[in-house]
Structure 1
Amino acid sequence: MTAFSLEPAQLAWCAELRTLAAERLHPLADKGEPGHVNRALVAELGSLGLLGRQFTSGALDLCLMRESLAYACTEAETALALQGLGAHPVHAYGTEAQRARWLPRVTAGTAIAAFALSEPGAGSDAAALELRAEVDDSRGGRSSDTSQSGQSSDAPALTAAPDGPARWRLTGEKCWISNAPEADFYTVFARTTPGAGARGVTAFLVPADRPGLTGRGLDMLSPHPIGALDFDAVPVTADDVLGEVDRGFRVAMGTLNLFRPSVGAFAVGMAQAALDATLAHTAGRDAFGGKLRDLQAVSHQVAEMALRTEAARLMVHAAASAYDADAPDVPRRSAMAKLLATETAQYVVDTAVQLHGARALQRGHLLEHLYREVRAPRIYEGASEVQRGIIAKELYARQEAR
């Protein structure tokens, strides 16, 4: 059922989240170092119970969290979302041992998760990934990772290399991975069957201290941590598989179908913050014998900003509600929500900068910050062009099925 309006309890919770973001999370975000994981901020998200809520509630709840946090503190929103993105495959597809070891630490904010799908030559075309998972029969037999079962979930030490022989060796590179190279574990997608496209990909849970795994940070426009990972014959076993062998693309798409609407919610939160800042600025700024808002050209632009923001919010809520209802058209709705919301946020923030003038370009201004933040969501988790392709494919498939 489409959520055209929120319940009073939901609205109150959103207001509470915005207050928490402004008063408790934003000060921690300001103390963080751009381009690096802010562990204090993640730990605070854990103490507030927000990280764990990603795994116990639905897609609409996730969207409300992301929009509310983004409105007051984009760094907190991103930290929360990256924990969810990296750990959702463990929650949804992991074994009992995998979940018991990692999810308590993720929800507490003491272990950092990352989702490692993109590669230098396989970004939006995820089925073209080339990270190789090569069978290692050098010592024969099936090994077991004893650290998966013999160590408590809150132990500070991370998993070491398996005691027995690795079933696979991961070789290749991942790039543009959020939280890399500082995450404690990675959900890694690797090719187990050459030439099989999307059907030959397997998802692995790879602790960061596995031998042969190294990484480096990348200097990006957005302030949150993004890096590249190098895999030099990194050992993994059957105990590290998430889901089924050669069915990892389903793990990736299942995760993205959940998180794509919430990327739209992140965008809506930024758009709303830009809109509210513009309302305050144009209502108070003297210009041409009156206030900026008295100029029809300005007031019409503000109206357009509000119209597009609300339309994007409704589509995000509709897509999230469809996911929660297990509707058959989730891929199309998720793609539509992400596409409309991220493109809308780009327009709204850009227009806000224009109406504020030069002051919005000063370092430290809210809109200067949003202007840098708003660009990336149109690319990650499927670029806008990819979303249009998904929408068209789903429409034609439905038409042919009639």
Structure 2
Amino acid sequence: MESWMHRNTAVIDPRQPRYAPILPVEIWEKIFAFATHIPGCFEVDDDYAAIAAFTRDRHGICLSNRYREAMQAKLAFCLVCKYWSRVAQPIIFEHLRIRAGEDASLIADTLKRLSPQKDCREGPGRWTIRIDLVLEGVHAWLPEHTIAMSRIFKHCPNLASFSSAFSTDEPWTYELPKILRRLSQNSRLTRLEVKADHCILPIIEETLGNRLEILWLVPCRCLLSLDRLKTRIVLPNIRALIATAGCETYISRIELPSLRACILGLATMGFPLINRSLVQYCSISNSWGVFANLNDWPSLTTLSVNIGELANLKTSWERHIRHEHLECIMIENIDHMRRQMLMMKLDACTELLMQLDEMLTSLLSPYNFPHLKCVKIFLSVQGRSNTAPILLEEEESLWYTWLNACNDRGVRIEVSGGAMEWTGDEWTDYSPDEVFDML
């Protein structure tokens, strides 16, 4: 015992010098990136679920909160020691947000000051991946501010994503057409998020059309027809299209031969000109066109379903429909359907629930969807078992039976609740009983 204590005492003797292991820079960079990650913000590859979740943040509120928290963490890293400050520099500059014209001038001057005189592209701007132009309220956007944006783009050779989708001003107030033309000099730009009007889409086609892979269109308050410009906009390399409700005027005029993800928040039916056999991810507010012609979407792996439309779908799938690739079904707007049911007569509610029961049962059919692995359910609030509304007896029986049927077939049930989880593509596995308590 004494010898054992002697050996261990020697090991922890405070008089002995200690040397903390030095982690490689690459590991610290991974740690910092993980701690400050903003879901869906930098994706330019095939993570369509993360991109779709990011664009649910229509007004950028969740993004603003996440950006503020991430910047606080990044600045805290820099204050720990000089070593961490050097390692954290790339993540400090990877995401720039411009809230006013003065911000653009200040950032342009900062990038110039920190860059070597011989090559401005070797300054800290080389770490910038994304730039957000987030103008809030009323601003005096001057020509020198547009020039400042051009200077910023010049210092950011690796810029992959640009967004003005969260600006409250309309695109002509901050000279977006000129900004897009100057942005076309950045050869690595593949993701664009902008407010659309009658002159923006032709400029996108002209300057960035052969390069863009991800496009998010947000409507202006004043939409004008494209009839007087041209009948069709062709964007050959777009893999993911996101169009917020209000862009119906433009959607049918866009040709996207390489589209893989179609995310349309449209109030009326309308698709861009696409090859449906290539689409893998589909999330649209009016999904009747997909259900009615499911065989036209053979590559579909993820389908988002509006529960109200599913309940009102009068035509069930025919026996010959067999989709070999669908793996995930997302169910949205349960709360919205319930609000509608509050204004319906009891007989109408019962009929609606019977139709919904039939369609939900069809979704679990091993014949129709043999490779279904997961059902994802959106809820407006997470973990609300104590405040959930009293369900009709028919609806209660419907959900209880269907959730257990998912479990019996081996289909995983995941839930995303609240805006932060919706926009962050965050899902949690639950048992059927746990999900039933949340509904």
Question: Normalising by the residue count of structure 2, what TM-score does the alignment of the two structures yield?
Answer: 0.21
Question: Normalising by the residue count of structure 1, what TM-score does the alignment of the two structures yield?
Answer: 0.22
Of structures 1 and 2, the one scoring higher in RCO (CA 8 A, sep 6+) is: 1
Structure showing greater Rg: 2
